[in-house]
């Protein structure tokens, strides 16, 4: 019956976050439900037997789904026992915090009185107005300009943040561009396809540059969080809605995603706006795991991803057709049962930021119908250690890191 009901809905979702009228920000699975269903081309010559041995050493265990019913959303309200390490407030950067999930998370954290929130947004005035409208206490937030579609802007943001003299305890990579109805690709200031260039490459550079700051934190729990999506996981019903995420052998990424001497799609195929978003989410989840493998043991930083649920009733859908806006919320509420309000989703992400019970690194967090967290299982591609390594090294070259 759920599949029959789903057929009433359009096959693509168009939303916006942080500015451009053609784009929208994040977290929607077409079905949005989180129930699970029961490499590829040979590697380049650069990935030799030595690399294979390295991969075996770096293997990340993604265990079976394990309920943690004692951990529920309201846990963000109080600081954990570890907070005795320092008496100051925590400092958290949240990208895309001017609306949707990012704004709800900023509000949830700021209202505890335990956090200073740096709202990293492309539209400064929009973010200020949103914070004021949401009632976020002025003393608990600061807006700073960041355009993830420009690598120069990312570097400038990092410089500006460091000049502020604030320590950094948690980085939340939340912002995302979603262009499911686009017929032709758009591009970042650096010439990358916009969805992957913003959602993956912009965040990749930001996280790499700010990792040193997080490492130096004296706060009780230092974390780097990248928001994932059920739509990028092909081991779920929502992840199997066409077009499905598939990075292939990364040939398009190797070519620079510029649509000139290479495809604008990671797998080298024809442009598809919905698939570009889903591919970028796979990149986000692979990147989180590679951060974990490389840095967790050495630094003590917790690296995590999450899917907070389907935020079906939100202003993010204002660009979508009226029929979708009418049918999608009740479909999520009564058919898939995957509906989550913006406020609840924000509390869930805030929980991953602050809850001492969610300090395990390398985990993709989800919530059950009782709002209890569990360690969810990623798809085969989204947990492919060899692909994560190759993605990391190609991304380094594209963003100009040594």
Crossing angle of helices 100-110 and 342-354, in 10° steps, is: 60
State the pLDDT confidence band at 324, using cuts at 50, 70 and 90: low
Question: In CATH, which superfamily holds the domain spanning 90-399?
Answer: NAD(P)-binding Rossmann-like Domain (3.40.50.720)
Partners of residue 304 on adjacent β-strands:
225, 363
Locate tokens 């969810």: which residue?
Answer: 376
Annotated catalytic residue, options 277, 307, 339, 364: 277
Q: What integer pLDDT is reported at residue 326 of this predicted model?
A: 66
- Which residues are bridge partners to 225 per DSSP? 172, 304
Distance (Å, rounded) from C-alpha 72 to C-alpha 365?
A: 12
Share of the chain above pLDDT 70, in %: 71
Model confidence over 261-281: pLDDT tens digits? 889 999 999 999 999 999 999
**Beta pairing class for 372-376 and 66-72:** antiparallel
Strand order in 90-95's β-sheet?
66-72, 372-376, 363-367, 302-306, 223-227, 170-173, 90-95, 115-121, 141-145
pTM of the model: 0.79
Instruction: Assess whether 277 carries a catalytic annotation.
Output: yes
DSSP code at position 24 = B
pLDDT, residue 323, reads: 60
pLDDT band at 370, cuts 50/70/90?
A: confident
Ranking 43-52, 181-190, 220-229, 299-308 by mean pLDDT, the lowest is 43-52
What is the model's pLDDT at position 309?
Answer: 82
Query: For residue 100, what are its two tokens?
Result: 């949707």
Instruction: Yes or no: say if 346 and 314 are a contact pair by the CB < 8 Å rule.
Output: no
Res. 388: pLDDT tops 60: yes
State the pLDDT at residue 336: 60
Question: For residue 197, what pLDDT band results from cuts at 50, 70 and 90?
Answer: very high
Q: What local confidence, expressed as pLDDT, does residue 342 receive?
A: 85
Decide if 76 contacts 108 (C-beta within 8 A): yes
- The mean pLDDT of 321-346, rounded to a whole number, is 67
């Amino acid at each position: 019956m759920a599949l029959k009901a789903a057929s009433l809905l359009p096959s693509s979702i168009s939303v916006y976050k942080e500015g451009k009228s053609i784009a929208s920000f994040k977290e929607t699975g077409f079905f949005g439900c989180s129930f699970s269903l029961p490499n590829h081309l040979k590697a380049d010559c650069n990935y030799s037997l030595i690399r294979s041995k390295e991969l075996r050493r770096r293997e990340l265990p993604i265990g079976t789904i394990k309920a943690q019913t004692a951990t529920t959303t309201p846990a963000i309200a109080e600081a954990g026992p570890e907070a005795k390490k320092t008496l100051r407030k925590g400092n958290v950067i949240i990208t895309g915090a001017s609306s949707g999930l990012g704004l709800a998370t900023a509000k949830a954290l700021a209202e505890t009185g335990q956090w200073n929130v740096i709202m990293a947004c492309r539209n400064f005035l929009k973010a200020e107005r949103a914070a004021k409208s949401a009632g976020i206490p002025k003393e608990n937030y600061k807006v700073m300009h960041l355009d993830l579609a420009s690598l120069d802007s990312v570097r400038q943001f990092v410089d500006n943040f460091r000049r502020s003299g604030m320590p950094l305890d948690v980085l939340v990579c939340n912002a995302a561009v979603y262009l499911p109805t686009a017929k032709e690709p758009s591009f970042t200031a650096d010439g990358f396809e916009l969805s992957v260039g913003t959602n993956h490459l912009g965040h990749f550079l930001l996280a790499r540059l700010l990792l040193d700051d997080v490492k130096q934190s004296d706060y009780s729990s230092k974390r780097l969080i990248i928001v994932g999506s059920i739509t990028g996981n092909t081991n779920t019903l929502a992840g199997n809605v066409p077009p499905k995420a598939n990075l292939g052998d990364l040939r398009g990424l190797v070519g620079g995603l510029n649509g000139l001497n290479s495809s604008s799609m990671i797998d080298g195929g024809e442009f598809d706006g919905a698939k570009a978003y889903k591919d970028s989410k796979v990149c986000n989840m692979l990147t989180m795991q590679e951060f974990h493998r490389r840095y967790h043991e050495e630094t003590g930083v917790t690296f995590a991803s999450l899917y907070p649920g389907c935020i079906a009733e939100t202003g993010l859908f204002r660009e979508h057709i009226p029929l979708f806006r009418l049918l999608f919320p009740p479909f999520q509420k009564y058919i898939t049962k995957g509906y989550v309000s913006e406020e609840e989703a924000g509390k869930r992400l805030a929980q991953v930021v602050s809850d001492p019970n969610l300090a395990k690194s390398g985990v993709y967090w989800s919530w059950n119908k009782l709002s209890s967290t569990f360690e969810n299982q990623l798809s085969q591609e989204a947990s492919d250690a060899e692909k994560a390594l190759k993605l990391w090294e190609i991304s380094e070259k594209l963003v100009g890191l040594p």
